[in-house]
Structure 1
Amino acid sequence: MTIELGPLEPEPFMLALGLTLLFLITWTLGCSLLPRIERVKAERWDATEGRTERADAIRAEAEAAHDAGRQELAQARHEAARIRQEYAEQGAAAVATARAEGVHDRDRLVTATQVRIAADQAEAAGQLRQDIGELAVALAGRVVGEPVHTVATDRRTVDRFFGSR
């Protein structure tokens, strides 16, 4: 089966030359131009899509670091609250101890002061009775016009007066 193409029928030499040139051009394109095209396409993809992927990876890493920082901060706050509570308890215990010591010291001072006041009061009362007795004897001596000091001492009048009270 042969097809008659008329004026379009190719010559075998031209057909061979055309096919050779076609393969030569295809080989040249495949060896030099297509790798360059692929490299440019890869660079474009890296410039657009690759940066987006890297940015997403960096963002994910930053979010992970941020979450880790939040967890660490939360742990630090928890630890600070625990330490504050511990020192508040220690402070309350120290205040209670100091208060107990203060109450004990106050009671001791009050007791010692009451004893000293009672002793001073007794001494002052004795001194006052003596002074009142001397003044009463001196006044009685002035009223009577004679010294009654020896009589009052012999009879112990002043002591009896204060003893009845």
Structure 2
Amino acid sequence: MAIDAVLAEEAGQNPLLPASYDIIWSLVCFIAIAFLFWKFVMPRFSALLDERAEKIEGGIAKAEAAQAEAAQMLEQYKAQLADARSEAARIRDDARAEGEQIVEDMRQRAQEESARILAQGQVQLDAQRAQIVTELRGDLGRIAVDLAGRVVGESLEDEARQRGTVDRFLDELDSVSAPAKS
């Protein structure tokens, strides 16, 4: 009969619903597990999540700081590059100006050297001209004395007479050639 009583009792209940004592003990176990989970597991889980969130936020902050530093370094690099370019342009301009100055100095020196060489040549030319004129005067004087001696018929061998005659002749030649040069 005991089996019949259990079967009759079970026949009045819904087979899908458990017995009420099972529901009560399951609820007590669930509350105990939920309390332990809430008391011990959730704080550790929360701490772990908070720690991880802090690490992530710290990583993000570090990344932002690194990105800001990189942007600053890029700006410094660009500024240094611009300074280097302007310095290179200035050096190039200075070198160009210095080159032009060197060329101008060399041109000036060449002109001075050319003027000096021309002056020296002119001095040498004047000296040679004076020497040639002196030699020609002497030769011309001897020829003139010989011709004059032949024309006059007397000997102009006397040195003093010869010089006087030659000097008179050359003075007359200078006076005649002076107006012709003008």
Q: TM-score, normalised by structure 1?
A: 0.53
Q: Deviations over 1:84-104 (max 9, x none)?
A: 223433443454455445534
Alignment of 1:1-165 (within 5 A): 7=13, 10-11=20-21, 15=24, 17-30=25-38, 31-32=40-41, 35=45, 61-62=69-70, 64-97=72-105, 99-100=107-108, 102-131=110-139, 133-134=141-142, 136=143, 150=157, 154-155=161-162, 159=167, 162-163=170-171, 164=173
Please tell me the residue identity of whatever aligns with 1:10: S
Partner Cα distance (2:32, 2:94) in 1: 88
Deviation at 1:10, TM superposition (A): 2.0
**RMSD over equivalenced CA pairs, Å:** 4.8
Identity of aligned pairs, percent?
26
**Which protein has the larger Cα radius of gyration, Structure 1 or Structure 2?**
2
Count, aligned residues: 146
Partner Cα distance (1:14, 1:55) in 2: 54
Unaligned runs of 5+ in 2: 1-11, 178-182
Q: Deviations over 1:16-50 (max 9, x none)?
A: x32331123224545348829x66xx59xx6xxx9
Partner Cα distance (1:158, 1:138) in 2: 7
Partner Cα distance (1:27, 1:139) in 2: 160
Partner Cα distance (2:97, 2:41) in 1: 82
Deviation at 1:133, TM superposition (A): 4.6
Q: TM-score, normalised by structure 2?
A: 0.49
